[in-house]
Amino acid sequence: MIQYPHCKINLGLSIVAKRADGFHDLETVFYPVGLKDILEITPAKNKETTRFSNSGLVIPGDSNNNLCLKAYHLLKADFPSLPEIQMHLHKIIPMGAGLGGGSSDGTAALKILNALFQIGLSKDQLMVYAEKLGSDCPYFLYDTPCHATGKGTLLSPIECNLSNYTIVILHPGIHIATPWAFQQIVPCKKDSLISDIIRQPIQTWKQNLVNDFESPVIKSHPIIGALKNELYEQGAVYASMSGSGSSLYGIFEKNKKYQKSDLTNCIRIDTI
């Protein structure tokens, strides 16, 4: 069985408070974007053991730590009859980019395993497993814009339609470690809720819709700030870093064209 896990961008990202459990309370709006990986899971042949393989972008680190494999072992612990599998991930979404690709892959693995082996988990039950994988994972059980609070796992669909625009994503090839990014933030409650800001005309977002990670990341990597400025210079209605970076996105009117940047050998992705 094959699925195509999509990525997301953050429309605003506010770090509100440090929690007693070491995590942070935040507010953001997750918006689905049509840049996708490819994940295939099949039953293992004969007496082969569970195996994970990958192609496309190189995935750093130990493959045993991949969220897709962790999803399998989470379910296997509760459903011992789950058979051995072969799992292949073709990686297209950049990693360490604030696009949630790894989280999307892990959640897709849960969905495939549930369907392929007829486990019978409801969406609410899948949410519990997804939250165990990571704070961004539960969102990928949705395919609609969602307002997220708490650790990012308290989700409610929100009206936000960007179908009349083109979203251009730029990835400058810089890997931002999320723990480092959080260490740069002093959490604070904001005067305006992101859920209120995005209900305003998109032309007002530039002044009001902020990603708290952007300032410290740009301070450490000025090229990211230069790319954001260039998105605006080329006509973006709104531009921002996604998540903890390093990807940026620009929202353009349909008739506007973004020209490839000479600032860096970044990956440009046109979507929507």
- CA-based nearest residue to 258, from 268, 245, 272, 246: 268
Within 10 A of 144 (CB to CB), how many other CB atoms are there?
14
Q: Check if the beta carbon of residue 245 is closer than 8 Å to that of residue 224.
A: yes
Would residue 256 show up in a list of annotated catalytic residues for this protein? no
Within 10 A of 252 (CB to CB), how many other CB atoms are there?
22
Within 10 A of 90 (CB to CB), how many other CB atoms are there?
16
CA 76 to chain centre: 25
CA 84 to chain centre: 28
Q: Check if the beta carbon of residue 87 is closer than 8 Å to that of residue 43.
A: no
Q: Check if the beta carbon of residue 86 is closer than 8 Å to that of residue 42.
A: yes
Determine the Cα angle at 216 with ends 232 and 173, to 5°. Answer: 65
Rounded CA-CA distance 29/91 in Å is: 25
Backbone dihedral region for residue 120 (phi beyond 0: left; psi -120 to 50: alpha; all else: beta)? left
Sheet with 248-253: list strands edge to edge. 238-241, 248-253, 165-171, 267-271
Catalytic option among 36, 37, 91, 136: 136
Would residue 8 show up in a list of annotated catalytic residues for this protein? yes
Cα distances (angstroms) measured from residue 236 to each of 12, 79, 172, 226: 16, 49, 18, 14
Catalytic option among 8, 91, 111, 228: 8
Looking at the annotation, which residues are catalytic?
8, 136
